[in-house]
Amino acid sequence: MIRIAVANQKGGVGKTTTAINVATAIAATGRRVLIVDLDPQGNSSTGVGVDQNTRQRTSYDVLIGACSAADAVVPTAIPRLSLIASTVDLSGAEVELVEMEGRIHRLDTALQAPAMQAYDYIIIDCPPSLGILTMNAMVAAQSLLVPLQCEFFALEGLSQLLNTVERVRAGYNQRLNIVGVVLTMYDKRNRLSEQVAADVRAVLGKIVFETIIPRNVRLSEAPSHGLPALVYDHRCAGSEAYIDLSRELLGRTEPHARAA
């Protein structure tokens, strides 16, 4: 089972869009996938069609130990894709967890349960902060997938993120690696996008995925229909890019497997 946290402490860079669509693309290859929504805003829960008022057991309950991870899993309309939803309750967890034993390991421990081994991939959608929720995701994951928006300050804040990764590696999870950085919201009509993409590649090198996610209105429309873009319109440029990204990602996480 491979666990990937989608993280960047900046908001609005494409974490949730990436988490949902990568998860959907991987599920389409026949693998069983679970999304863990670790953002109190619950955008990935909404984005895969799990309505606010149907979220009974959530990632909050899992973190505080009120239920097991398996008990919090709900199915989605997408074959082989399940979800642990979140609600605004989760915003209290940052404070409540501080008092709790093993507060950095709680998600990891919950996901170690035998029932969770049924998933080939667990994709954790992080909130826009480097607090205790994102730390839990980094301890529970083997890999980080980092979306960077193609804008002027794309690299700003990255050193802070990398410092947190180092801290987690040193103290809690030695195997944590960065599986890749993905450039998002690329606007081909805008010279700045091109420049930013070139700069990011120059600085970060091969960890940057070849695939670039274009700015694409279908990607932003899909969540209001409760569908991943890959289901809402699987032929739009955004969906095609996420299929390519997922192929690259699978190549990095399962170098010996044949692409399905």
Residues 6+ apart with CB under 8 A from 202: none
Q: Looking up tokens 């491979």, which residue turns up?
A: 2
Binding status of residue 9 toward ligand ADP by CB under 6 A: no
| CA 163 centroid distance within chain | 19
Binding status of residue 43 toward Mg ion by CB under 5 A: yes
Binding status of residue 184 toward Mg ion by CB under 5 A: no
Binding status of residue 82 toward Mg ion by CB under 5 A: no
Nearer to ligand ADP, 116 or 135 (CB): 135
Long-range pairs for 199-207: beta carbons < 8 A, 24 or more residues apart: 199/154, 199/155, 200/148, 200/154, 200/155, 203/155, 207/178, 207/180, 207/181
Binding status of residue 213 toward ligand ADP by CB under 6 A: yes
Closest contact distance (angstroms) between CB of 221 and ligand ADP is: 8
Question: Interface mask (CB under 6 A) for ligand ADP, residues 39-68, using x and -?
Answer: ----x-------------------------
Residues 169, 177: Cα–Cα separation, whole Å: 9
Binding status of residue 17 toward Mg ion by CB under 5 A: no
Nearer to ligand ADP, 43 or 76 (CB): 43
Residues 92, 96: Cα–Cα separation, whole Å: 6
| Number of residues this chain uses to bind ligand ADP (CB under 6 A) | 18
Binding status of residue 184 toward ligand ADP by CB under 6 A: yes
